[in-house]
Chain A
Amino acid sequence: MAEYSCLIVEDSPMMRQLLVFALARVKNLRVTEADDGVDGLRKLASARYDIILTDINMPIMDGLKLVKRVRSDPVHKETPIVIITTEGSQEDRQRAMQLGANAYITKPIQAPQVIATVKELLKI
C-alpha cells in the first residue's frame, strides 16, 4: 500500500499536536512538523512531501510566502497545500487560493474536516 508524507507548518505546538492527532486517523500518512515557514522550506528542500498543511500567521516567514515559494519549487509545485488559519474573511481565502493553495480551513479546526480534506487531495 502506498505511503504518503505530510508536512505541517505551524508555529503553535498545540495546533501541531492537534493536527498530528487528527492525521493519525489517515492510514499510511507519515507526518513531519515544522515551526514556521523557513523551517518548512528547509524540510521541503531535504525531502519530497505529498501534501503540505500550513498556518498563515507565523513568525519569520508566514504561510502565504511559503505557498508562493512552494509553487516556484520544481519538486513541490504540484503538491497540494491546505491553509489552516484563524483568518476567516473571504479576501484572505481568495488571496490564499490565488497564490496556489488547494484548500482553506479556518480555526478552530474540526478534525473530521481536516481528515476529509487531506484524503480528498491525496485521492485516498
Chain B
Amino acid sequence: MASDKSGSSDPPPTDLKKERDEVLQQFAKGTRISEEFIHEHERMQSRLRELETENAGLRAKVEADDAIRDLLAKIDQLEAEKQDLLSRYREAEAESSQWGERFQEVEGQFADLANLFVASNQIHSSLSPRGVTRRLKEVLAQLVGAEKYGVYLCNPDQSELVPIASEGVLGDELTPVSAKGGPIGEVLRTGAAHIDEEVDASKGTIARPPAIIPLNIDDRIVGVIAIFATLEQKSKFTSVDFELFKLLGQHAATALVSASMFAHAERQIPGLEAFRDLSV
C-alpha cells in the first residue's frame, strides 16, 4: 500500500518537466497575447465608437451645410419673389395713385357740371323778368361768389349800357355807362369777356371790375354783367367760374328777353300757328 502512495508522488522525469515548463510558458505567452488582443480589441472598439461619433458629427455637419445651402437658395428665391412683389406693388401703387388723381379730377368735373346744370336750370326756371333777375343774382352770389355786381343792358342804339340790377352797390353809384369808354364799353365793343387776373377779385372796384361778361343773344351783344368785387374769401376766379361766365353770357340775356317778351304778351302762350313749319 505504501508503495502505491509513494509511486504516485514521484517527480516527473526531467524531459516532461521541461516540456511542462515550455507548455506553461507557451500558455502564459498565449494568455498575455490574448490579453493584449482583448485590450487591443477594446481599444479598437473604443476607437470605433469615437470614429462613429465623429462620423455622425461630420454627417450632421454635412447635412447642416446642405440645409444651409438649401436655406440660402430659398432665401435667394424669396428675395427675388419679394423684389418682384415690391415691383408689382409699386406699379399697383402708381396705378392706384393715377386712379386716385383721375377720380379726384372726375369728381371735380362732376361738381363743375353740377354747378353749370344748376345755374342753367335756375336761369330758365322762371318766365318773369323779376324771377329771372332774382335767379341770375343768386347764381352770381352763390355760385360765383360775387359780392358787388351790376347787370347792364344796351339801349336801342347801342350807345349806352343801362344798369337794370345790382347787388352790394348803392343805387347812385351805378349810372349808365358809355359804350365808347372804360372796360365795360370795351367789352361791348369787342364782345370778349374782360377778366383782370392781376387784381385780388375781392378788392375790385366799380372803376376796375375784376370780371365783365358780355351777354349775347345769338351773335348780338345786348348787355354785360360786371362783377365789381367777390366775397372776401374768394380772391380769384377758378376754371368753373369761367365756364359759368360763358353760360351766363349765352343764357342770361336769352332768359331775360324771353321773360320780358312773355310778360309783354301778358303771359299768353303763343298759339300753335307760331310753332308751325319749324322743322328743318
Q: Does chain A bind chain B?
A: yes
Given contact pairs A108-B143, A112-B104, A112-B107, A21 touches B138 in the complex (Cβ within 8 A)? no
Q: Please determine whether B118 and A18 come into contact, CB atoms closer than 8 angstroms.
A: yes
Tell me the complex Cα distance, A111–B111, Å.
6
Q: Please determine whether B118 and A106 come into contact, CB atoms closer than 8 angstroms.
A: no
Q: Please determine whether B142 and A21 come into contact, CB atoms closer than 8 angstroms.
A: no
B120-135: which have CB < 8 Å to A?
A: 121-122, 135
Tell me the complex Cα distance, A21–B138, Å.
17
- List chain B residues, Cβ under 8 A from A69: none
Q: How many residues of B contact A (CB 8 A)?
A: 25
- List chain A residues, Cβ under 8 A from B234: 108
Binary CB contact string for chain B from 141 to 157 against chain A (1 if under 8 A, 0 otherwise): 11111010000000000
Binary CB contact string for chain A from 1 to 31 against chain B (1 if under 8 A, 0 otherwise): 0000000000011110110011001000000
Given contacts A14-B139, A86-B231, A108-B144, 18 further A-B contacts (CB under 8 A): A12-B142, A13-B122, A14-B119, A14-B122, A17-B122, A18-B118, A18-B142, A21-B118, A86-B141, A86-B145, A107-B142, A108-B145, A110-B111, A111-B110, A111-B114, A111-B115, A112-B104, A112-B107
Q: Please determine whether A18 and B115 come into contact, CB atoms closer than 8 angstroms.
A: yes
| B181 within 8 A of partner (CB) | no
Given contact pairs A12-B142, A14-B122, A86-B141, A106 touches B111 in the complex (Cβ within 8 A)? no
Q: Please determine whether B111 and A17 come into contact, CB atoms closer than 8 angstroms.
A: no
Q: Please determine whether B108 and A112 come into contact, CB atoms closer than 8 angstroms.
A: yes
Binary CB contact string for chain B from 241 to 269 against chain A (1 if under 8 A, 0 otherwise): 00000000000000000000000000000
Shortest Cβ distance from A49 into chain B, in angstroms?
A: 23
| A59 within 8 A of partner (CB) | no
- List chain B residues, Cβ under 8 A from A89: 232
Pairs A–B under 8 Å by Cβ, sample size 24: A12-B138, A13-B122, A14-B122, A14-B135, A14-B143, A18-B114, A18-B115, A21-B117, A22-B111, A22-B114, A25-B110, A86-B141, A86-B145, A89-B232, A106-B231, A107-B141, A108-B142, A108-B143, A108-B145, A108-B234, A110-B111, A111-B114, A112-B108, A115-B107
Shortest Cβ distance from B79 into chain A, in angstroms?
A: 41
- List chain B residues, Cβ under 8 A from A21: 114, 117-118
Max chain A Cβ within 10 angstroms of own Cβ: one of B117, B142, B143: B142
Given contact pairs A86-B141, A88-B233, A17 touches B121 in the complex (Cβ within 8 A)? yes
Among candidates B107, B110, B118, residue contacting A17 with C-beta atoms closer than 8 Å:
B118
Shortest Cβ distance from A56 into chain B, in angstroms?
A: 13
Among candidates A15, A22, A25, A110, residue contacting B142 with C-beta atoms closer than 8 Å:
A15
Tell me the complex Cα distance, A13–B121, Å.
11
Tell me the complex Cα distance, A33–B104, Å.
27
Shortest Cβ distance from B251 into chain A, in angstroms?
A: 14
Q: Please determine whether A25 and B107 come into contact, CB atoms closer than 8 angstroms.
A: yes
- List chain A residues, Cβ under 8 A from B107: 25, 111-112, 115
Given contact pairs A14-B122, A107-B145, A112-B107, A88 touches B231 in the complex (Cβ within 8 A)? yes
Tell me the complex Cα distance, A15–B110, Å.
16
Shortest Cβ distance from A53 into chain B, in angstroms?
A: 14
Tell me the complex Cα distance, A112–B145, Å.
17
